[in-house]
Structure 1
Amino acid sequence: MQGRRKFRREGEERRRQDLIEATLDCVAERGLQGATVRAIALRAGVTAGLIRHYFPGKEELLQAAYATIMGRMTEQAKTALATVAQDPRQRLSAFVEASLLPPVIDARVFSQWASFIGRASSDPALAAAHRAGYLGFRDEVEALVAEVLVAAGRTAAKPELRRYAIAINAIIDGLWIEGCLAGDFFETRELAEIGIGSVEEMLGLRLREPVCSAKE
C-alpha cells in the first residue's frame, strides 16, 4: 500500500483535488466498498470532518473522482494535439495514438474505471458522470473527424459524423481495455498503430504520411 498523500494547503480547489486523488488511490487498492471516508481521510492525512467540509458525503466524493478519471483521459489525449501541425489528418492521428499509449493506457486507471463502471448502472449520479465523460470524448472525436473530411473536400451531415465518432470511440475503447488488461501481450505502439489504421480504413483516408524506404 502506498503511504499517505501530503495534503496541500494552497487553496480550496487544490485541497479538493487532493481529496479526489486520495479517493482514487483507495478505489484502486480497495474498490468502491473499501474506499470509506475513514480510509480516504487516512490516505489524505486529514480528518473525516475536513472531507465533509468539501463534500457532503462519500457519494459526492466518488462522483467527483469518477468525473476526474473520465475528464483526465480526454485531456491527456488532447495534449497530443499541441505537438503536431495544424493539419487535420495529423491531429486526428495524434489524438487516436495518444488515447492508446501511456499514460492513458494504465492498469491502475483501468482498475479505478472498472470499479466505477460496475456501479454506474445502479447509481444515477455515477451514470451521469459517465455520460458526460463519454460524450465529451466523443464530441472531441467528432470535431476532429469533421475537420479531416472538410480538408479532404468531403461533406458529412451531422448524423454521419455522429456515427463515425461512435465507431471510432468504440475502436479506441476496445483497444484501450486490451492494453490495460494485457499490455505485455503487445509490441510498443502496436495498439496505437492498429487504432489509427482502423480509423483510416473507416474514413477511406490516410491520416499519416507513408514511410518511404531509403534508396539502396
Structure 2
Amino acid sequence: MTTRRASNDRESALIDATLTCIAREGISAATVRNIAGYAGVTNGLIRFYFKSKDGILRAAYQSFLEHLFEAAHGAIDGSYLSAAERLERYLLANLSPPIVTSQSLLLWANFLPLAHRDEAMADIRRHWYARTTEAFRDLIHEALAEHGLTPDDNELRRLSVAVNGLIDGLWIEGALSAESLDVQEFQAIGLDAASRLLGVPVSRTAAS
C-alpha cells in the first residue's frame, strides 16, 4: 500500500510538472527532457512511469480536464440542496477559480491542437465533454421539474449543449479578463443568461 501510494504521488508530481511546463512554455516545449527538468528527475524516470512523451501528455490532459470537472462537481455535493440551488452552484463553480483562470485557458489552448490530431487525446476530450454535458442535462432536468416543466430528451440535450456553450464562452472571456474582472458581476451575467436560455430563474438574482 505504501509503495503504491508513493508511486501514485510520483506520477502526480510528474503530471504537475508537465502542466507547469506547458503553461509556462507551451506544448512544443513539453519534451521529456524539459519535463524532467521541471520535475527535478531523470528522463528515465518519466519513461518508466509513462513510456513516452505521448504517454505523459495524455495523462496530463486527462488530469487537467478531470480537475476542472471535479472542481465544479464538488460544489453540488449535498442532498439538502434544491434542484435550482444545485444548478446555481454548478454554474457559479464553472464561473470561478480554479476553472476561470488564465492558466486553465493557456492549458486548454495548448492541448486543443493535440486533441484534434491524436485519437487518444480526442477520446479524452470527448469523455469529459460528455460528462460535463450530462451533468448539465441532469441538473437542468431537475431544475425544470421544480417548475412543473418536463421537456423531452431532445429538448434537454439542446438546453444542456446551449448552457454548456454559454459557460464555455464566459469561461474564455473571464480567463482573458481575470486581472480586471469583477467576479460577482461576471457570475451574475452568467446566471442571468442561463435563466434566459432555460426560461426559469436559476438564482435569487435572476428571479428578482
Q: TM-score, normalised by structure 2?
A: 0.91
Match of 1:176 in 2: 171
The structure with more helix, counted as a fraction of residues: 2
Matches within 5 A, 1:130-169: 130-169=125-164
In structure 1, give the amino acid aligned to 2:117. Answer: S
Unaligned runs of 5+ in 1: 1-8
**Count of aligned residue pairs for this structure pair:** 206
Match of 1:3 in 2: none
What do you get for the CA RMSD once the two structures are aligned? 2.2
The runs of 4+ residues in structure 1 deviating greater than 6 Å are none
Unaligned runs of 5+ in 2: none
Cα deviation code 1:36-82 (max 9, x no counterpart) = 10111111121111111111211111111111111111111112213
CA distance in 2, matches of 1:211, 1:169: 18
Return the match for 1:32 from 23, 27, 52. Answer: 27
Return the match for 2:46 from 42, 48, 51. Answer: 51
| 1:84 Cα deviation from its structure 2 partner | 8.8
In structure 2, give the amino acid aligned to 1:95. Answer: Y
CA distance in 2, matches of 1:173, 1:210: 21
Return the match for 2:95 from 100, 105, 116. Answer: 100
Cα deviation code 1:112-165 (max 9, x no counterpart) = 110001332222122111111211111111111111122222212211111111
Match of 2:193 in 1: 198
Match of 1:64 in 2: 59
